[in-house]
Chains A and B, each alone.
Chain A
Amino acid sequence: MAKFLVRRLLQMIPLLLGISIIVFFLTAMMPGDAVDAKVNPNMTQEQILHLKEMYGLTDPIPVRYVKWLVNAVQLDFGDSLTYLKPVTSVINDYMWNSFILSLIAFILQLVIAIPIGIVSATRQYSAVDTAGTVFALLGISLPSFFLGLLFQKIFAIDLQWLPLSGMSTAGANYTGFAHYWDVFLHLLMPILVLSLVSAGAMMRYVRTAMLEVIHQDYIRTARAKGLSEKVVIYKHALRNAMIPVITYIGFSLPTLFSGAMITEKVFGFPGIGKVAYDAIIKRDYPLYIGFTMFVAVLTLLGNLLADILYAAADPRIKME
């Protein structure tokens, strides 16, 4: 196990290096730079050139990459050109808000999708299955911004049950429980939107995996030896059906930290998704590259996690 982990972690190094080269060069080759994105009509030519020089934008791209890499291996990703703070601290400021939002939405998504997926599969073509499928297709097809705006219209503007946007009520000075309740009310709509739009796909995933498994011979054998339907489905079938679901969960790890750009924008939620998007628009390349590398590391770790979970779900898989 330890050997496996060390080997996998070491394999990540060349991978990350490759990713960083591609990301850095692609970002640097985007037309326009941070200084172009912030011109004002009173800037003189001298000042524009001076700024480009100070930001290190005048060096050739390979030189810039090497400089960046030397600092990056010491975990210094430079200062954001927009926020004028270290990239790591900008990510830290916004990431946890996104994480709370995405984590709750993700759990809710599993809680909705897995049971419906199982029931849909075990009672294929029943009314429950049809309803589940309709629900899933709705979730997959509805864009999150549309659902978000719809919810805002219904729950915040017309019914006035929930706050329209943000993460807490400005000027309310709530403390203790009242504060958490306030934050919860603000999170409710974005969480519902996020979990509804992704639960559909997840549910179809579970249903397909489950259907495949319950038509296997060993399930028939289990039934033949007289096991109850409950034991057959939840002990024998579910565990095997979970393997593709685990892959999905592993892949979802980075999305928990990388934020939900559109939903965050609609709800004015102070998350990292919006920040990363703005970083591209403002050509804030230290922030954008730092953030992309952060997501790359999480993606690789997510894959590793999925591999470890496979072994837990399926004893046939050995970590060699």
Chain B
Amino acid sequence: MKAKRLMSAAACILAVSMVLSSCGKTQQPLGEADRVTEAGVSIFDAKDKSKNVDAALKREDTIVIGTVEFNGVFSPFYVENQYDKNVVDMMYDNLFDIADDGSMVDGLATHKVSEDGKTITFTLKDVKYWDGTPVKAQDFVTSYKVFADKAYTGPSDYSLAQIKGWDDYYNGDATEIAGVVAKDDKTLEVTVDKAIGPTLEYINIFPTHPSVSYTKGDVSGAQAMSQNPIGTGAYKFVEYKEGESVTLVANDDYYKAAPKIKNVILSVTPTGKELQRVQLGEVDIDFPEASPENVQAGVDAGFIDQYVMSNNGYGYVGINNALSKFDQKTRQALLTALNRDDINEAVYGPYAFTINAPVSNVSWAYSEEGLNKYAYNLEEAAKLLEEAGWTKNSSGKLERDGETLDITFTGMPDHPVLEVMLPVMKQDYESLGITFNIEYTDFPSLVDKVNNHKAEMWFMAWGLTPDPDPKQTYHSEGAQNTYQYSNPETDKLIDEALEETDQKKRKELYKKVWQALNEDVPCMWIYQRCDAWAVNSRVKNLEMSPFRSLFTNLYKAELDNTKA
């Protein structure tokens, strides 16, 4: 079937190019979608609501949402898995909410930034925890302290925010973090050593209920929040059945508005059964792979609304830049010889975009101005290789300074993208005179190999945070710059863009960052794909966007159990 789709790719190229040109702010609907929201979500409306199933309609005040398995870590300090995080998002609120384009807007507090940008003063809104205890400024101080504690082993890294006195607390004897002060119950003041673009995002935090015990060096209370969550969120924790479901109930005193749906259950769906569960009415919402087949099946069901939007991440082929054979020209040639459009089309149909810089197409920092598209062209690639100094030897292989161009690609078995990409890649690269070998390994082994710089070329994907800063992944000092890309000019541009605090100016600076990266090709960006949500049409007023999940907006949703 994959092969068939690849063959029909040419026929669809017209459709793809239409979609590609529609990226950016004024998006057109994807594929055959009926409409597109302001946040860039394409919607396929249900056409025949009378087909709705009783299994779903009889759950009058309960919504069931399908999910991938939980780790059961529901402490906002330690949450890591996306599906645990969806639960946490319903139970906890932060100082800032994330807007549809990834920028920060006021959440639990209003804020004021000082002239020099270093001091942010928050005035808390009147918000209560589930048990009626009012939220106080001191509760945020506790949260910061836990993250600054050496005993903390969760995934969040608040040191990036460069809060004043952070290191004295982390490494030293300080009992308070100098830059975090509760002026009174309602006023919180956060001071950073250096204001940077994502400062607001990096200092964003939730309050810790005063009953959670914390003393320096003992974070067990924060860990135990996993079993006994207590927050301010729209939904209150009721029960977790290991490996099966999480049940939540509406918090009628929620500070934004009382949730309209009383009960929420997140129920684990086995991989591949997402759409069927919505069709059968076992769940109201689920998350099938955004493939043309699934979307069509959802349309055919009649009573399913589908929301399709960009995923916050991108897939890329990593290149070990430290190897002398992979100089800039050669990397450009390799990218030009990779038929990304057809590969994406074959795997995801219209639901993936070929990208040429590491930024989400819904981010405020998105720009494709001045980006080379590296359109698939083997002749162009051959020319670039020649310019890079590669010449064909007697056996038709590319050779430079006595070294032939041999590439070993490390992949993961049974990966849907690799299944399509690798045969195409091998054929095209070998036609240019490159020897292309493929080896397979499981994910942690691949990570190990990549981190120790033992891989030459590999496939992985990055998730994107709301802030577009690519320092960890593309700066020569970045912890996750596994491709060992290093260009002092790019480093400078990345630092400049990170340190600028004005979003408009930052946008201009990021334009240059994307251009520099696009020119250098530190790795080969393959796609930003789409996520699709299949939703029973009885669910009304559901809002979602790539940076703001439906879980954060669920309190606005309503159920309409009539078939009309």
Interface residues of A (CB under 8 A from B): 30-33, 36-48, 50-51, 54-55, 82-85, 93-94, 97, 152, 156-157, 160, 163-172, 265-271, 274-275, 278, 281-283
* Closest Cβ–Cβ distance, residue A176 to chain B (whole Å): 18
Contact of A38 with B159 in the complex, beta carbons under 8 Å = no
Q: Is B234 an interface residue (CB 8 A)?
A: no
**How many angstroms from the CA of A267 to the CA of B159 in the assembled complex?**
42
Contact of B445 with A31 in the complex, beta carbons under 8 Å = yes
A-facing residues in B440-484 (Cβ within 8 Å): 441-449, 451, 462-465, 472-473, 479-480
Question: Which of chain A's residues have a CB closer than 8 A to the CB of B64?
Answer: 170-171
* Closest Cβ–Cβ distance, residue B62 to chain A (whole Å): 4
User: Which of these binds chain A: B242-250, B287-295, B492-500?
Assistant: B242-250
Question: Which of chain A's residues have a CB closer than 8 A to the CB of B2?
Answer: none
A-facing residues in B58-106 (Cβ within 8 Å): 59, 62-64, 69, 71-73, 75, 78, 80
Q: Name the contact of B282 in the complex, choosing from A41, A85, A97, A170 (C-beta under 8 A).
A: A170
**A93-B242, A166-B267, A270-B243 are known contacts. Are A43 and B155 too (CB-CB below 8 A)?**
yes
Interface residues of B (CB under 8 A from A): 59, 62-64, 69, 71-73, 75, 78, 80, 150-151, 153, 155, 157, 159-160, 223, 226, 241-245, 263, 265, 267-271, 273, 276-277, 279-280, 282-283, 441-449, 451, 462-465, 472-473, 479-480
Contact of A32 with B448 in the complex, beta carbons under 8 Å = yes
Contact of B159 with A47 in the complex, beta carbons under 8 Å = yes
Nearest residue (CB) in A for B245 is A170
User: Could you name 17 residue pairs across A and B whose Cβ atoms are closer than 8 Å?
Assistant: A38-B80, A41-B473, A43-B157, A44-B472, A46-B159, A54-B153, A83-B73, A152-B273, A157-B279, A160-B280, A164-B276, A164-B277, A165-B282, A166-B268, A170-B64, A170-B265, A281-B444
* Closest Cβ–Cβ distance, residue B280 to chain A (whole Å): 6
Contact of A84 with B226 in the complex, beta carbons under 8 Å = yes
Nearest residue (CB) in B for A272 is B243
**A171-B62, A266-B270 are known contacts. Are A41 and B244 too (CB-CB below 8 A)?**
no
Instruction: Count CB-based A-B contacts (< 8 Å).
Output: 142
Most chain B C-beta atoms within 10 Å of own C-beta, residue among A36, A50, A281: A36
Contact of B480 with A43 in the complex, beta carbons under 8 Å = yes
Question: Which of chain B's residues have a CB closer than 8 A to the CB of A46?
Answer: 159
Q: 10 closest A-B pairs (Cβ-Cβ)? A: A270-B243, A32-B444, A268-B270, A32-B448, A170-B267, A45-B479, A31-B448, A93-B242, A31-B445, A36-B447
Nearest residue (CB) in B for A51 is B153
Question: Which of chain A's residues have a CB closer than 8 A to the CB of B269?
Answer: 165, 268
Question: Which of chain A's residues have a CB closer than 8 A to the CB of B276?
Answer: 156-157, 164
**How many angstroms from the CA of A271 to the CA of B448 in the assembled complex?**
29
Question: Which of chain B's residues have a CB closer than 8 A to the CB of A156?
Answer: 276, 280
* Closest Cβ–Cβ distance, residue B68 to chain A (whole Å): 10
**A37-B443, A44-B157, A170-B282 are known contacts. Are A265 and B270 too (CB-CB below 8 A)?**
yes
Instruction: Name the prevailing secondary structure of the A interface residues.
Output: loop
**How many angstroms from the CA of A168 to the CA of B268 in the assembled complex?**
11
**How many angstroms from the CA of A198 to the CA of B271 in the assembled complex?**
24
* Closest Cβ–Cβ distance, residue A226 to chain B (whole Å): 59
Question: Which of chain B's residues have a CB closer than 8 A to the CB of A171?
Answer: 59, 62-64, 263, 265, 267
**How many angstroms from the CA of A30 to the CA of B449 in the assembled complex?**
12
Contact of A281 with B443 in the complex, beta carbons under 8 Å = yes
**How many angstroms from the CA of A145 to the CA of B151 in the assembled complex?**
43
Q: Name the contact of B447 in the complex, choosing from A39, A44, A163, A172 (C-beta under 8 A).
A: A39
Contact of B243 with A275 in the complex, beta carbons under 8 Å = yes
Besides A39-B447, A41-B462, A157-B280, 4 more A-B contacts (Cβ < 8 Å) are: A36-B451, A44-B160, A44-B472, A267-B270
Contact of A32 with B447 in the complex, beta carbons under 8 Å = yes
Contact of B445 with A32 in the complex, beta carbons under 8 Å = yes
Contact of A84 with B472 in the complex, beta carbons under 8 Å = no
**How many angstroms from the CA of A51 to the CA of B283 in the assembled complex?**
38
* Closest Cβ–Cβ distance, residue A167 to chain B (whole Å): 6
Contact of A44 with B479 in the complex, beta carbons under 8 Å = yes
**How many angstroms from the CA of A168 to the CA of B479 in the assembled complex?**
44
* Closest Cβ–Cβ distance, residue A58 to chain B (whole Å): 14
* Closest Cβ–Cβ distance, residue B96 to chain A (whole Å): 17
**A39-B447, A85-B72 are known contacts. Are A270 and B241 too (CB-CB below 8 A)?**
yes
**How many angstroms from the CA of A77 to the CA of B40 in the assembled complex?**
48
**How many angstroms from the CA of A38 to the CA of B81 in the assembled complex?**
9
Question: Which of chain B's residues have a CB closer than 8 A to the CB of A83?
Answer: 71-73
* Closest Cβ–Cβ distance, residue A214 to chain B (whole Å): 46
* Closest Cβ–Cβ distance, residue B546 to chain A (whole Å): 16
Contact of A41 with B464 in the complex, beta carbons under 8 Å = yes
**How many angstroms from the CA of A165 to the CA of B276 in the assembled complex?**
11
Question: Which of chain A's residues have a CB closer than 8 A to the CB of B243?
Answer: 93-94, 97, 269-271, 274-275
Question: Which of chain B's residues have a CB closer than 8 A to the CB of A39?
Answer: 447, 480
* Closest Cβ–Cβ distance, residue A1 to chain B (whole Å): 40
Question: Which of chain A's residues have a CB closer than 8 A to the CB of B280?
Answer: 156-157, 160, 164
Contact of A41 with B480 in the complex, beta carbons under 8 Å = yes
Nearest residue (CB) in A for B80 is A38
**How many angstroms from the CA of A76 to the CA of B5 in the assembled complex?**
53
* Closest Cβ–Cβ distance, residue A13 to chain B (whole Å): 32
**How many angstroms from the CA of A274 to the CA of B243 in the assembled complex?**
9
Question: Which of chain A's residues have a CB closer than 8 A to the CB of B472?
Answer: 41-44
**How many angstroms from the CA of A266 to the CA of B63 in the assembled complex?**
24
**How many angstroms from the CA of A51 to the CA of B441 in the assembled complex?**
24
Question: Which of chain B's residues have a CB closer than 8 A to the CB of A47?
Answer: 157, 159, 479
* Closest Cβ–Cβ distance, residue B307 to chain A (whole Å): 21
Question: Which of chain B's residues have a CB closer than 8 A to the CB of A170?
Answer: 64, 245, 265, 267, 282-283
Contact of A55 with B273 in the complex, beta carbons under 8 Å = no
Nearest residue (CB) in A for B263 is A171
* Closest Cβ–Cβ distance, residue B447 to chain A (whole Å): 4
Question: Which of chain A's residues have a CB closer than 8 A to the CB of B479?
Answer: 43-45, 47-48
Contact of A36 with B242 in the complex, beta carbons under 8 Å = no
**How many angstroms from the CA of A124 to the CA of B81 in the assembled complex?**
57
Question: Which of chain A's residues have a CB closer than 8 A to the CB of B465?
Answer: 41-42
Nearest residue (CB) in B for A157 is B276
Contact of A41 with B463 in the complex, beta carbons under 8 Å = yes
**How many angstroms from the CA of A97 to the CA of B241 in the assembled complex?**
11
* Closest Cβ–Cβ distance, residue A54 to chain B (whole Å): 5
**How many angstroms from the CA of A111 to the CA of B552 in the assembled complex?**
51
Contact of B265 with A55 in the complex, beta carbons under 8 Å = no
Contact of A166 with B244 in the complex, beta carbons under 8 Å = yes
* Closest Cβ–Cβ distance, residue B27 to chain A (whole Å): 25
Q: Name the contact of B155 in the complex, choosing from A40, A54, A168, A271 (C-beta under 8 A).
A: A40
Most chain B C-beta atoms within 10 Å of own C-beta, residue among A54, A97, A152, A170: A170
**How many angstroms from the CA of A281 to the CA of B443 in the assembled complex?**
7
Question: Which of chain A's residues have a CB closer than 8 A to the CB of B282?
Answer: 163-166, 169-170
**A165-B270, A166-B267, A275-B243 are known contacts. Are A30 and B463 too (CB-CB below 8 A)?**
no
